């Protein structure tokens, strides 16, 4: 995955005591994504806007609010989360991700 003509935020985002971090990138059309990594652990995130999370390396399990079963997502996979929602993620191996705000 490679992006051209973007602006990168110098200040990073840090969650869960630094176990999850990201940087925001903005595109010429005003859209944004975050690129980051997650250390092994279990985390719950809230969303404001709908998101698509792409797992670029590693492996996670996710539990979406409307689901009762965990789903395993491997490198190269992705999942969607509705806006004004939340999801739980179990990180089984150090994982890189790209989050798109839809």
CATH of the domain at 41: 2.60.120.10
Q: Domain tally for the chain?
A: 1
* 2 has a pLDDT exceeding 90: no
Over range 50-73, report the average pLDDT.
96
Domain membership of residue 75 (yes or no) is: yes
pLDDT at residue 91 is higher than 90: yes
User: Is the pLDDT reported for residue 1 higher than 90?
Assistant: no
- Look at residue 57 and give its three-state secondary structure: strand
Asked whether residue 65 is assigned to any structural domain, the reply reads: yes
pLDDT mean over 31-53: 96
Q: What percent of the chain has pLDDT over 90?
A: 93
Contact call for residues 67 and 24 (beta carbons, < 8 A): no
Does residue 1 fall inside a structural domain?
no
Q: What is the pLDDT of residue 101?
A: 94
């Amino acid at each position: 995955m490679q992006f051209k003509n973007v602006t990168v935020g110098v200040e990073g985002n840090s969650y869960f005591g630094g176990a999850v971090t990201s940087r925001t990138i903005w595109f010429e059309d005003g859209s944004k994504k975050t690129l980051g990594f997650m250390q092994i652990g279990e985390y719950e995130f809230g969303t404001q806007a709908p998101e698509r999370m792409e797992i670029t390396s590693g492996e996670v399990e996710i539990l979406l609010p409307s689901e009762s079963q965990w789903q395993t997502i491997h490198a190269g996979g992705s999942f969607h989360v509705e806006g004004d929602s939340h999801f739980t993620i179990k990180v089984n191996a150090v994982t890189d991700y790209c989050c798109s705000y839809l």
